[in-house]
Structure 1
Amino acid sequence: MVDISVLDIAALLPFVLIGFAAQLVDGALGMAFGVICNTLLVAVLGVPPATASARIHVVEVFTTGVSGISHLLHRNIEWPLFFGLLVPGLIGGVAGAYVLSSISGELMKPFVLGYLVCVGAWLLIRGIFYPPKIKKPAVIAPLGLIGGFLDAAGGGGWGPVVTSNLLVQGAEPRKVVGTVNSVEFFLTLAVSATFIWHLGFADVAGATLGLLIGGVIAAPMGAFMAKRFSPKLMLILVGIVLTATSAFSLWRVLTA
């Protein structure tokens, strides 16, 4: 158990704010919590990738749980899509956690990030110049499998991969964000359990606790925002966030 009396509130506050901002974006647009937090832990604090990914997924068990309930209350979930992503996502997530716990998964990162930069740019162009035409996505299960694997192996990737590709296929943005966020709860639960099995259990404290507090506070607000944004605005915002975060991560990987 964490002894609250020994926590430095001043040192904790920046991480609360980061967790709040990251989850606000994630809850509204279906991506960015893992990417933002993983960048902070690995690049700034020097945490090993496997440990950073494990801590992020432990935090996300709580943030995605609150976010999923909020999206359910706002009717942002499409159930056929939910079940189509769930099982493949779990399989991919457990496999990715196992791979990252055993060997380095960094080799695939530049290729995935380059792909996501292109997808983000295309979503931005579509949002600005082409009115969104809503239709049912045709490719679901492979997205869940790949997204779950990359999320665990890369410390974040479920939202950018799955949300962006469903939007490219023409799925309704509000339902995509709500469904992807809700499935992510079960994914993070499975991935966290796999990491704990391989790496051991560490108390949630310090920076991780700050991310948790900020994320849980922001989760209901993100679901509310997702319901209010128009499809055109969501495509533009997702395109901006995906392009910016992926381009920054790609630059960091290539210059490391």
Structure 2
Amino acid sequence: MVRTAITTIGNLYLGHRRRFKLWGLLVLVTLAIFPLRQILVDAGLIALAPEALSTGVLLAVFLAALACEYMDSSLGMGYGTTLTPLLLLAGFEPLQIVPAVLFSELLTGLAAGAMHHRDGNLDLPSDRQARRTLMLLAMLSAVGAIGAVAIAVKISAFWFSLSIVTIVLAMGLVTLVTARRRIAYRPGAILAVGLVAAFNKGLSGGGYGPLVTSGQLVSGVPAKSAVAITSIAEALTCLVGLSAYLVFGGAIDWSLTLPLVAGALLSVPLATATVKGLPENWLRRAVGGMTLILGLVLLAKLLA
């Protein structure tokens, strides 16, 4: 098993050697900008606005976005769910975090979709099933954003959250159990899971990826297509959420948003190459395992 894993990783690197080298160079250049910025500030050559983040905080935000988006674009989940609590712990306010995360997810979701298509993980022009799945999820994004408001005033937040956690855990288990099985495509199941995920995103701002990715897998969508479709669908969901936020008077904090976007975008080429190089059953197990982990984390947070 270990030898197989090493061989798979080696083949992944060899198959995308040029991309990996270019990616490494871009990351190093970006990382070099942070200390250079501090040197210029210390020398009095540039001045920062009072609200500007320190060099250390910028670097931490960049690296966190890089890691979280790599997980999100390669497994279809984890960016907002993981990054938002980290930013809260770092002292950022929710009104700073939400639009920054939505904006960065919008850009990286579209970029990931394009790169997944380029790498052959998804072919929307010729794959009718993929187009149908994406269309269903895209339509449900708007429904979720509107319907969540109506649901929020009629149901206990605790019980609604508990039901979402239960579904996430169930999806993770089913994905792991069926990792080696071929499942017939069921658009009705996509509709049900997508609707619940869209409501959850509109109500809580997170939890979209685990539900939609694992839901597609147990509905018969191939793992690589499911991850790619989730990236695009979540980008459309973020567009709806961000637009509503701006319409109601919100604003984007660019001091936080820019390092988030830089880190997240740089992770995309590496993540889509990872999806291309992994065997289908490995990817299904990884999605199932990560869905279970995130579901347990959400459950612990809910019961704390």
TM-score bracket for this pair, using the shorter chain length: 0.7 to 0.9
Q: Is the 8 A contact 1:52 1:155 kept in 2?
A: no
Residue of structure 1 in register with 2:247 after alignment: 197
> Paired residue for 1:159?
209
The offset of 1:133, in angstroms, is 0.7
Q: Which residue of 2 aligns with 1:56?
A: 101
Distance 1:45 1:245, change over 3 A: farther
Q: Which range is displaced more, 233-242 or 220-229?
A: 220-229
Q: Structure 2 vs 1, CA of residues 106 and 63 (structure 1 numbering), >3 Å: closer, same or farther?
A: farther
The structure 2 residue matched to 1:238, chosen from 269, 287, 290, is: 287
3-state SS in 1 of match to 2:120 = coil
Cα distance between partner residues in 1 of 2:268 and 2:147: 27
Q: For the residues of structure 2 that align with 1:99 and 1:223, how far apart are their CA atoms? A: 37
Greater relative contact order (Cα < 8 A, sep 6+):
1
For residue 178 of structure 1, report the CA deviation from its aligned partner: 0.9
Q: Which residue of 1 aligns with 2:116?
A: 71
> How far apart, in 2, do the equivalents of 1:99 and 1:12 lie?
38
Structure-2 change in CA distance of 1:159 and 1:228 (3 Å): same
Determine if the alignment matches structure 1 residue 8 to structure 2 residue 54: yes
What is the CA-CA distance between 1:221 and the residue it aligns to? 1.8
Does the alignment pair 1:85 with 2:137?
Answer: yes
Letter in 2 for 1:169: S
The CA deviation string for residues 64-119 of structure 1, in whole angstroms up to 9 with x for no partner, is 121121122223332222222211223213444x5699999843223212321232
* Structure 2 Cα separation of the partners of residues 198 and 104 of structure 1: 24
Q: Which moved more, 1:216-225 or 1:23-32?
A: 216-225
Give yes or no for the alignment of 1:168 onto 2:218.
yes
Matched with 2:19 is none
Q: Which has the larger radius of gyration?
A: 2
Counterpart of 2:169?
Answer: 117
The Cα shift of 1:229 comes to 1.6
Give the distance between the partners of 1:54 and 1:106, measured in 2 at CA. Answer: 22
Aligned to 1:39: 85
**Which consecutive unaligned segments of at least 5 residues does structure 2 have?**
1-45, 123-129
1:93, 1:145 within 8 Å by CA — same for their partners in 2?
no
Q: Aligned pairs, how many?
A: 247
Deviates further, 75-84 or 39-48: 39-48
In structure 2, how many angstroms separate the alpha carbons of the residues matched to 1:84 and 1:35? 23
Question: Match of 2:213, as an amino acid?
Answer: T
Whole-angstrom CA distance in 2 between matches of 1:219 and 1:99: 35
1:186 aligned onto 2:223: no
TM-score normalized with structure 2 length: 0.72
How far off its partner does 1:220 sit? Answer: 2.2
1:119 to 1:101, Cα distance in 2 relative to 1, 3 A: closer
Q: Is the 2:190–2:215 Cα contact (8 Å) retained in structure 1?
A: no
Q: Which amino acid aligns with 2:288?
A: G
Report the AA paired with residue 180 of structure 1. Answer: T
Residue equivalent to 2:298 = 249
Change (3 A) 1:182 1:195: same
> Offset at 1:46?
6.4
Where does structure 1 lack aligned partners over 5 or more consecutive residues?
A: none
